[in-house]
Amino acid sequence: MERKNPGTDFRLDWFENIQVNTPAAERRATSLAARRSLKKEWQAAWLLNAVRCIDLTTLSGDDTPDRVARLCAKARQPVDAGQLAALGVEHLTTGAVCVYPTMVAAAKRALRGTAIPVASVATGFPAGLMPLDLRLAEIRYALDQGADEIDIVISRALVLRGEWAALYDEICEMREACGSARMKAILATGELKTLTNVARASHVAMQAGADFIKTSTGKEPVNATLPVSLVMLRAIRDYRDQTGFAVGFKPAGGLRTAKDALNWQVLMAEELGRDWLRPDLFRIGASSLLADIERQISHHVTGRYAGAHRLAAG
């Protein structure tokens, strides 16, 4: 188990003067995506790396144990074995499987014998509008079911009102409830109104002990974007410089194409370095993304695109 973010005391002075220049952040994010062109075997290698960083996810109201089992089978073998062999890769899995708390036990059964962790959303996902004691109880329930990682949601109202100490205290209680499990803090950036709020919320979550900060639930009207991700990565860099600890990053919602997977990895490499391009520091929350990555890998290996029916995610 990787070491956990120990967090810090609440330090308002680390972020209270942050003001994000939104047009500048947008220009920087756009220029990074346009400047790096990955072709042929280099593109295939970066796409395979994206696969190993995917939290393969199902968070639907009609989830069943059978659906989760199919998703877990895909997580075990996300890319055709023959195509992996053609690329000189022996074995590849996704970074994790992410489900609701009531589906954790089914996922653990389906992944028995593998090292693939099961992540569970909790704390009243996606809105987080439940009493705190119930949100903490949901974390404990997911852990009792066998969850290895917990994706918590923050109270957006505390961000919008600038109640940073209250937000810190709340996330600290969630961190304590998670125990030894890795905790990912979902900021729901599409509901935080400004990039300045995104930066400040990122700092609070990390100070409170988040092992990852995550853009979105995937349920907001606007989910992961490159400018939002840039701001969060800069906060991660600041936190590393202040504490020496490397916090992970998870974009989620809105990443659907192989080009998206490449763009976010370029952003990670440019802003934080290649050390962050591994599953213990980078995850992609996705369900449909994998199919397009498979299509591109199939085209690289065979010269043609596979039919959609051959790439079902479960």
Could you give the residue numbers annotated as active site? 151, 214, 250
Asked whether 200 and 170 are in contact (CB, 8 A), the reply is no
Roughly how many angstroms between the first and final C-alpha of the chain, as a whole number?
Answer: 28
State how far the Cα of 15 lies from the Cα of 94, in Å rounded to an integer: 34
CA distances from 205 to 73, 212, 229, 236, 306 (A): 33, 9, 15, 10, 42
Closest-CA residue to 188 (of 271, 251, 263, 118) = 251
CA 282, 130, 197, 170 torsion-angle sign:
negative
Phi-psi category of residue 249: left, alpha or beta, with phi > 0 → left and psi -120 to 50 → alpha: beta
